[in-house]
Structure 1
Amino acid sequence: MAYKAIIAGASGLIGSNLLNILLEAAEYSEVLVLVRKELPLKHKKLVQLVINFDDLDKFADTITGHAIFSCLGTTKSQAPDKEQYRKIDYAYPLQLAQLAKQNGVKQFHVVTAIGADKNSPVFYTKLKGELEDALLRLGLETLHIYQPSMLMGERERSHWLENLATGLFKIIDPLLICGLKKYRSIKGSTVAYAMFKKSLESATGTFIYTSDKIHTN
């Protein structure tokens, strides 16, 4: 049986890697991407739906299939307004999950971040924690939550701080051992491949993976 997948955030580091994997995977016959602008990519399996995520409800009938992968996320430089940031990192993924449940989608996969905690004093990790908490309360049939640490890989747009962090983690990673392994940096392509592999499993319930667990799956 060939599956249909939906990706939100297919232009980002993890989403773009995941898209390439799914397009080449025999297990998937259709990959629908929800995008704000069309991707410069053609493939017989690829369906692109250009939307305004504020109008996601208008496209509810298309949110069907085996698995939804939410790779949505932004940065302060891209969305300096906190309300817009909250929309992208919280409201849109949650609405996707609600539509997934409404339409009987088997699996929902979402990328959050290491340290996600709704009680965190840090805006970013607090927001990710609030999203996880809201998703858990939805009662989805199968929920996979990926909590990567520093993401490595070629980005469409990179900031000097990200480049600095990349260099620092190359030094720090070998020092993070035992319980600290979950804080090691991880390639976006590694996260994407783990998402693909987990989507082929039939287990139901809620599963949470930090970077060290993503590496071993």
Structure 2
Amino acid sequence: MSVDPQTPVAASPAAPPSVPFVGLTGGLAAGKSTALAALERLGARTLSTDEVVHELYAGEELRDLVVARWGSRVAPSGTVDRAEIAKVVFHDADERAWLEQQIWPRVGAAVVAFREDAAAQHPPARAAVVETPLLFEAGMEAAYDATIAIVAPDDLRSDRARQRGHDGIEGREARHLAQEEKAARATYTVVNDGTVQQLEERLAAILDALAP
């Protein structure tokens, strides 16, 4: 684990304690979701933007928009087929841009609501953590007080991806920065190459460092 030399600024004694707002990202199959679950066990409030997108697709508003754009084939039986949508947008930058314009403002609103809810919690959470796979790629790091990158050796990531039914990580990282770049840009980097307990211990140290 590497720790940025900059020390988080403590809140004024007269001010209520603030809840650190943290962006979590990392390499494909590096263990971001495992890290998010560990942070929740450690007392952080957590949100996965992937889960927010899943909920958006399950709702009527986004379903009706994509059906109006691409036809009923992307929502057979009234349920959005994300694999079918992926076929539409994978090779068409304009269609992908249109889809992102529908999704990301709604995700952003969910993140704002999440942060406000975390700030109002009593007792306060240790941090409000948002898992965002394309955090640096989207230029969103400035929105957070700190960022965490979860990384792992490539062979281990490939093994994990295959265990999930994917053909490794090759060819799936076209829109992702290299792990090394994410690690260089993150406030904190955690190497997830051991047990879940070891990962949790490394994340606990980061939460301690973030404490106001």
Tell me the TM-score normalised to structure 2 length. 0.36
**Which structure: greater strand fraction?**
1
Higher relative contact order (CA 8 A, sep 6+): 2
Tell me the TM-score normalised to structure 1 length. 0.36
> Highest CA radius of gyration, 1 or 2?
2
